Structure 1
Amino acid sequence: MQIFHPTVAFLIMFVLCSQPTSAVIVRYPREPVTQTEGLSLSLKCTVEYRKKDCDIEAKWWYTNSYELLPIMDPNTYLITVNETELETKKLRLRNIFLTISSLKLQDSGLYQCDAKCLDSGTQAKGHLVAVNITADPYKGLKVSTWSGQLKADAAALAFSTILLLLRCY
């Protein structure tokens, strides 16, 4: 009794072996990011691809509602790119850094990096990364070098010095 017909076995092998391999892969950490307003934040996305198969276009996206919006404002965001080639695997790694130099509470939301092969249209998207910007607990506070305690300490030191000088003479 035959379990598989030879034609069925051939079709199964053909389907399994002909699965397309991704020409482009997007990678970055999954952990949520928390930072305090006023500080800077940098997110890194790594796109892995074969240069001979495609030319890459990569973008960062942002959402705090229901739609992803491309990050394009050069006054708010700095996007830098560096690329290396791995000769052993004939791959290229493109690191895309998204930097926000002075965080605001409104920068909280979900961020995503994606890449697209311009030649074939093959795309890869990273997962959504949650960014939570917390309020600066010291915002609005004025720090004085002569706080009340320092003034009291200075007065006590001056008084002690006067008493010491009077006793010595």
Structure 2
Amino acid sequence: MQIFHLTTAFLIMVVLCSQPTSLSAVSVIYPREPVTKTEGLLLSLKCTVRYKTEDCDIQTNWWQWNNSEPLQITDPNKYLITVNETETDEKRLRNIFLTFSSLNLQDSGFYQCDAKCLNSGTQAKGHLLRLNVTADPYKDLRVSTWSGQLKADAAALALSATLLLLLWCY
């Protein structure tokens, strides 16, 4: 009979130890894959912060890492940051979008989203997200209407074709 109690106690301990003790008050989630886009295009990066409503008065930020120095993204002329939230049971999900209206080569680098519970001081940071901005291969090409030279060349070609046709017929 004592073997049954030891086995039961062992199973209970294994189950309890395998369960998370508690969910973190705040967590940051976004894809790990690097992002590659061409300059001049629009791009939105999305970061989702999950937190417990009762435990956390939240503050969130996007950062750009240059030469190992984090720079908080705040320039409204270069970036648009939008936020929306949903609530499920005891948790809230805050989606923070960092939008580049027109990427340039200097936007290449590492970006990071973080969150902090102001009342408890609990923090969470996402991994560094790599953004590669590539040069636009068509940037310096211009689409133009026909120039005068092209019109003259087309007229000469048409005249030559007409003469060849007349000579062939006779």
> What is the TM-score normalised by the length of structure 1?
0.76
- Displacement of 1:140: 1.6
1:129 aligns with 2:157: no
Q: CA deviation at 1:143?
A: 1.4
**Partners of 1:48 and 1:27 in 2: how far apart?**
8
The root-mean-square deviation of aligned C-alpha atoms, in Å, is: 3.3
Q: Judging changes above 3 Å, is the alpha-carbon distance between structure 1 residues 25 and 154 closer, same or farther for their aligned structure 2 residues?
A: same
Indicate the residue corresponding to 1:101 in structure 2.
Answer: 101
Q: Which is further off, 89-98 or 108-117? A: 89-98
Q: Which residue of 1 aligns with 2:6?
A: none
State how far apart, in whole Å, the 2-side matches of 1:18 and 1:162 are: 87
Distance 1:32 1:17, change over 3 A: closer
Shift of 1:17: 8.3
Cα deviation, residue 103, structure 1 = 1.0
Unaligned runs of 5+ in 2: 1-15
Shift of 1:75: 0.7
Q: Supply the AA of the counterpart residue of 2:103.
A: L
**Match of residue 139 from structure 2:** 139
Residue correspondences, number: 155
Deviation of 1:145 (Å): 3.6
Give SS of 1:106's match: helix
Shift of residue 19 of structure 1?
A: 5.2
Residue type of the alignment partner of 1:110: F
Residues 11-70 of structure 1: per-residue CA shift (max 9 Å, x gap): xxx999895531001000001001111111110000001111111100000013111111
Q: Which amino acid letter does the alignment assign opposite residue 24 of structure 1?
A: V
